[in-house]
Homo-oligomer: A and B are copies of this chain.
Amino acid sequence: MVALLREDRLFPADEAGRKVAAALYETVKALPIVSPHGHTEPRWFAQNEPFPDPAHLIVVPDHYIFRMLVSQGVGLAELGVPSVDGSPVETDGRKIWRRFAEHYHLFRGTPTRLWLDHTFEKLFGLDVRLSAETADRSYDHIAEKLSRDEFRPRALYERFGVEVIATTESALDDLKHHRAIRDSGWSGRVVTTYRPDAVVDPDFAGFTDNLRKLGEITGCDTLGFAGYIEAHRRRRAFFREHGATATDHGHPTARTANLAPAEAAALYDRVKAGGASPEDRELFRAQMLTEMAKLSVEDGMVMQIHAGSFRNHSDGIFARFGRDKGFDIPQPTNYVAALKPLLDVAGLEKGFTLILFTLDETVYSRELAPLAGVYPCLRLGPPWWFFDSAEGMMRFRQTATETAGFYNTVGFNDDTRAFCSIPARHDVARRVDCAYLAGLVTTGRLDEDEAFEVAHDLTYRLAKEAYRL
């Protein structure tokens, strides 16, 4: 069998560095996977049904894959991505797979290629590169594997060596799948995460209706600001009962605010019925980040801010296919002035943890590392989304470490709904961290015994501790 993957991939190019990296990697490659932030579906683990055909498992739901094909003229409909306007899309998995295979060369030099080859070789045992010629063979091969019991969700969880995995649910979710997992007696640990965008973002589809539902679910009067905040408090407790240790906030910017209570209440009155000005809507999101920080100080939930994405950039695609279709584009994001109101409220509070993510790499060295290198509550999340890649991870370490050190970072997040790619993603992170550490060792910036300790911390300990898992 030919290998799709080189054993020493992502290690430094020089011999000395390669040797140190390999030695470090040897000690972390088999550590359990801690996945504190991601988007797998709890239903999979609750119901443990077989996954669908290869295309509907691997291609159709993965925006990294379909956006690249779209960029070269393949339509979303041809790739089976569901439409929201009722227009027809391809449903034949084999046809979708062939289109994907014909365009596999587009992924040269991308992390997607590494993840896919890893999945093909290590999970499915394929030994030929995907191409138009090998499309059918690989489709049949993977389809056959997926029909087996050992490829069902719970079996894969175990085979992947997952110790704990966090999913992300809307504040309005009933968490029935998490309850079902818990009640099933299965030993896997799947925890939820409190994601309140639908009830804190006035631009979210159905915002006003969502507030009403939030009131119904919690028994709080969400017509007033105090009741609305109390509803959050109760939902957070409900999520904690289902394993949540963290909240997650996806905002267009990192802006925070700290209005006087009466002002905040008046602002809520203006936004709750819809139709508020753009500035009011942004200010409300900003205020709610600070409110969430205050609740985290109360209840100990770790707070995460994911900022900086311009969502649904193409009107045409949004009209036909809806959100999350690969047309979310990063923007310049400021954290320094933006976070000050929140940090003046909660930045020095014992026991409060705020993990920051960015899509603007320029802020690593300029803003995020200096902030995380002094505020006790702040930690830096790993490179996110477009930067969950070999170069992206290396740039993160090179630009953040000198100011924030290693211990203000929180290990790796796979942040994915592509379940099969989870081992590949963690493997890339482990290799890049080992390569970075090896570079420090061979250039006399870190002793080798320390590098082994740091490698373990970055792979395992920091994620568990930061997320309190």
Which residues on A are within 8 Å of B, measured CB to CB? 5-6, 8-17, 67-68, 70-73, 105-111, 113-114, 129, 310, 313-317, 326-332, 334, 336-337, 340, 343-344, 347-348, 350, 359-362, 365-367, 369-376, 378, 386-387, 389-392, 398-399, 401-408, 439-440, 442-447, 450, 453-454
Contact = CB atoms under 8 A, between A and B. Distances in A.
A73 B391 CA distance: 31
A386 B16 CA distance: 29
Contact of A329 (B367, B390, B401, B442): B367
Given A9-B443, A106-B405, A314-B348, 10 more contacts: A10-B443, A12-B13, A13-B443, A71-B376, A108-B454, A109-B405, A110-B403, A316-B348, A331-B367, A360-B366
Contact of A314 (B68, B314, B326, B343): B343
A129 B108 CA distance: 41
A360 B374 CA distance: 18
Contact of A71 (B315, B328, B365, B404): B404
Contacts of A369: 386
Given A337-B331, A367-B330, A391-B398, A374 B404 contact: no
Contacts of A453: 105
Contacts of A372: 71
Contacts of A390: 402, 443, 445
A454 B109 CA distance: 10
A23 B361 CA distance: 34
A412 B365 CA distance: 20
Contacts of A70: 374-376
A332 B359 CA distance: 16
A445 B72 CA distance: 22
Given A129-B447, A340-B313, A440-B109, A399 B407 contact: no
A449 to B, nearest CB: 9
Given A5-B444, A332-B334, A405 B107 contact: yes
Nearest to A437: B109
A109 B401 contact: yes
Contact of A386 (B71, B329, B365): B365
Nearest to A440: B109
Contacts of A374: 67-68, 70-71, 326-327
Contact of A317 (B6, B337, B348): B348
A107 B390 CA distance: 24
B343 A336 contact: no
A73 B376 contact: yes
A359 B373 CA distance: 15
Given A10-B443, A17-B13, A407-B106, A402 B389 contact: yes
Contact of A370 (B14, B329, B446, B450): B329
Residue with the highest number of chain B CB atoms closer than 10 Å, among A334, A378, A406, A443: A443
A405 B108 contact: yes
A375 B314 contact: yes
A394 to B, nearest CB: 9
A342 to B, nearest CB: 12
Contacts of A313: 336, 340, 343, 371
Given A329-B367, A348-B316, A367-B331, A373 B68 contact: yes
7 contacts: A10-B445, A13-B443, A111-B402, A314-B343, A316-B348, A331-B366, A362-B366
A402 B407 contact: no
Contacts of A6: 444
Given A10-B445, A450-B108, A316 B344 contact: yes
Contact of A375 (B71, B398, B446): B71
A66 B80 CA distance: 55
A167 B292 CA distance: 46
A395 B40 CA distance: 34
